[in-house]
Amino acid sequence: MKAVVVLSGGQDSATCLALAVRRYGADEVAAVTFEYGQRHALETRFARRLVRRIPAIVEGRPDARVQHKVVKLGFYGSLTTNALMDPSVKIGRKPGAKCPNTVVEGRNAVFLTLAAVWAKTLGATELYTGVSEADYSGYPDCRGVFIRAQQKAIRLALDYPIRIVTPFAHRSKAYEWALAAKLGILDVVRKETVTCYNGIPGDGCGECPACRLRARGYGEWMSSTKTTR
C-alpha cells in the first residue's frame, strides 16, 4: 500500500482520492472516513460510493475500487460543542471571532493521527488530506504550520516516515474544479459529494459557508473556461 486518503465524502477529499489513485493505482490506495457526530453525517454514505466511483473513472475499469474503513468517534461530542455537531445551533460567526462556530476543535489533529496509525499498519507512507490554507475559514488545523508540526509529531510518535500530502494547501476551489474536470470526475464531484454543512448533497443548501465557498469557486472556474475559449 502506498497512500491513505482521509475521505470525508466532500469535494476536497474526493479530489484527493482521485489524485492518489491516478498516481498509484486503486490497489495501492486506501481511504478512511471518520464519523464524529457531525450533522452532515450523510457524507459517510457518499464516501462509500466514492471509493467505487472514482477509481472506476480514473482507471477506466468498472471493478476498480480502494480499500475503505469507517471509524466511529462517538466520544467527540462529549469533549467539545459546535454548530457542526449540534443541529440546534445556527451556523454563523460571532462578531470579532477568528473562526465560525463550525470549527471542531482539534479535528484534523485527531484524524491525521488515527489515519497515520492505519497507514503504518498497511505499510503506506503517504497520507492525503484536502485541507486548504488559501480558502479555509479560519480553522487553525488547516494551516501549513499545523500540518508540518503534525507530520513531525506523528513521525516521532510512530517512529515511521509518514508524509502528509496536502494538494490544495495553497489552492482555490476554482483550481479544484478545474482539476476535477481534468481527472474526469467533474460530474461525480458536482452531484455525488456532500460539502454542505446541512448535509444536502451536490450543490447543497447554498447558504452555509461551505456551500458559498464551493459555489464561488465553481463560478470562478466556469468564468475562466469561457475566457479561454
pLDDT digits 0-9 by tens, 121-154: 999 999 999 998 766 567 888 899 999 999 999 9
* Per-residue cell: 167: 494538494
Q: Which residues of 193-222 are buried (b: 16+ CB within 10 A; e: fewer)?
A: bbbbbbbbbeebeeebebbebbeebbebbe
The domains of the chain, with CATH numbers, are: 3-227 (3.40.50.620)
Residue 96 CA to residue 138 CA, distance in Å, equals 12
pLDDT for 68 equals 98
pLDDT for 87 equals 83
Q: What is the pLDDT of residues 177-218, one digit of tens each?
A: 999 999 999 999 999 999 998 889 999 999 988 899 999 999
